[in-house]
Amino acid sequence: MPQSSRSLGSLERSVMDVLWGATSPLTVREVQDGLEASGTHDLAYTTVMTVLDRLGTKEMVSRERDGRAFRYTAALSREAATAEALNATLDSSGDRALPVPALLSRAAWPRLAPAAGIVLWQSLALAAVLAISGAALSTALWLVTDDEPTWWRIALHATLMGIGVLVWARFWWAAWQVWRETSTRRARHRELVDLLGEPHGALPAVRVLTEQTPVAYCIPRLRDARVVISSGAVESLDDDALQAVLEHERSHVRTRHDLVLEAFGVLHRAFPRPLRTDAPLRQSQVMVELMADDAARKVTGDPPLARAIVALAGGPTPAGALGASSDALLRLERLRDPAPTRARRASAIASIAISAVVLVVPTVFIAVPWMYHAVEVLLAR
């Protein structure tokens, strides 16, 4: 038989359908017969075996030896695979909030201009990293420039320098962990939705999962991102509200909001627990949802988006994905009482101004003169 020209993802799904419909483990030949019976007539034996091997590598299929052959069975039922695709929840750290992030997280004005609000939170997080790095650098230079340091000052500065080095080591280790965990989780998730979901109309990147709970989210990637929506959401939403949901998720994918959240996730994980606060990460999650709402509003207007938020409220968002059901009450209040343009502009200006103060002023008035003095001392030796 000639090999099918269909995509491998489609072949994997066809094979899984045969295994899910079987009452006992199947051989490669029996899977091939099942594919032919279902209307797939042009798959070679070796093609079916290759697809089964790939599914085994992805831990979707298990096999057991039966004489000289292997018998294959689905490692997950269709229901369990759907549950894994829908119900893996985001981790919650439960960490306490430090004073400045806590006060800012309770303020409503940064959310009036969410893009600038994200810049503000990024500047605060970056300022904390730079402060610790600056302490380590100043300590190192002090040890070089001081002619007669006492033992206790050496011990104190060495401790501070060690803390700075540790923070940077934790930062890079956290970056590696977040990247590895997120990429692995999203790859697995994308495989599941491609196996379980049906393409939505003429939108090849959209998958519809058979699930009555109204759910919508996206799986962002550099290439081949997916927007996932449940059949319950499709049935409960009118055309305009469905378009609002799709525009919301496309905005997440198009502007790579996931990279913003991953950056905050790295900083959150890098800081030691006594110094850690979940306020920047939590607020960044809110901000990206508001930004995606703004993109959807430009296409559909406020009423369809509000109907979509109500319909999807409370739905699960898998880890590593960005969902349309998050922070429903806050988003509805924002749609009900939209801020005037002047207030949004003032919020953006305030956020950018505070960001500049937090990052630029200490650098210009403290770090630069100190470094200039340190260089003078070193050159004078």
Asked whether residue 92 carries a pLDDT value surpassing 50, the answer given is: no
Q: Is 176 part of any domain?
A: yes
Average pLDDT, the chain: 79
Asked whether residue 297 carries a pLDDT value surpassing 70, the answer given is: yes
Predicted local confidence at residue 146, as pLDDT: 59
Could you tell me if 71 and 117 lie in one domain? no
> Per-residue pLDDT averaged across 327-332, rounded?
82
Could you tell me if 174 and 44 lie in one domain? no
Calpha distance 164→226 (Å, rounded): 40
Query: Among 46-50, 220-224, 368-372, where is mean pLDDT lowest?
Result: 368-372
For 129-188, write each residue's pLDDT tens digit.
777 666 666 666 666 555 666 777 777 777 777 777 777 788 889 889 988 988 888 888
| pTM, entire model | 0.71
As a whole-number percent, the residues of the chain with pLDDT over 90 amount to 11
- Which pLDDT band, with edges at 50, 70 and 90, does 34 fall under? confident
Strand partners, 74: 61
Q: Is 92 part of any domain?
A: no
> Per-residue pLDDT averaged across 255-265, rounded?
87
> Per-residue pLDDT averaged across 99-124, rounded?
76
Predicted local confidence at residue 291, as pLDDT: 92
Asked whether residue 4 carries a pLDDT value surpassing 60, the answer given is: no
- Which pLDDT band, with edges at 50, 70 and 90, does 90 fall under? very low
Could you tell me if 22 and 167 lie in one domain? no
Could you tell me if 207 and 273 lie in one domain? yes
> Higher pLDDT residue, 98 or 356?
356
How many structural domains are present in the chain? 2
> Per-residue pLDDT averaged across 320-348, rounded?
80
Q: Is 158 part of any domain?
A: yes
Owning domain of residue 159: 99-363
Asked whether residue 244 carries a pLDDT value surpassing 90, the answer given is: yes
Could you tell me if 232 and 344 lie in one domain? yes
Q: Is 129 part of any domain?
A: yes
Q: Is 190 part of any domain?
A: yes
Could you tell me if 51 and 114 lie in one domain? no
Q: Is 167 part of any domain?
A: yes
> Per-residue pLDDT averaged across 273-294, rounded?
83
Could you tell me if 18 and 123 lie in one domain? no
Predicted local confidence at residue 246, as pLDDT: 93
Predicted local confidence at residue 290, as pLDDT: 92
Q: Is 42 part of any domain?
A: yes
Could you tell me if 342 and 271 lie in one domain? yes
> Per-residue pLDDT averaged across 27-49, rounded?
81
Calpha distance 268→275 (Å, rounded): 10
Calpha distance 86→78 (Å, rounded): 12
Q: Is 330 part of any domain?
A: yes
Tokens of 323: 């969902």
Could you tell me if 212 and 299 lie in one domain? yes
Could you tell me if 298 and 359 lie in one domain? yes
Judge contact between 236 and 253, C-beta under 8 A: no
Q: What are phi and psi of 48, to 5 degrees?
A: -60, -40
Q: What is the DSSP string of 114-140?
A: HHHHHHHHHHHHHHHHHHHHHHHHHHH
Residue 15 sits in a domain of what CATH number?
Answer: 1.10.10.10
Could you tell me if 144 and 41 lie in one domain? no
- Which pLDDT band, with edges at 50, 70 and 90, does 194 fall under? confident
> Higher pLDDT residue, 248 or 50?
248
Q: What are phi and psi of 278, to 5 degrees?
A: -90, 5
Could you tell me if 226 and 103 lie in one domain? yes
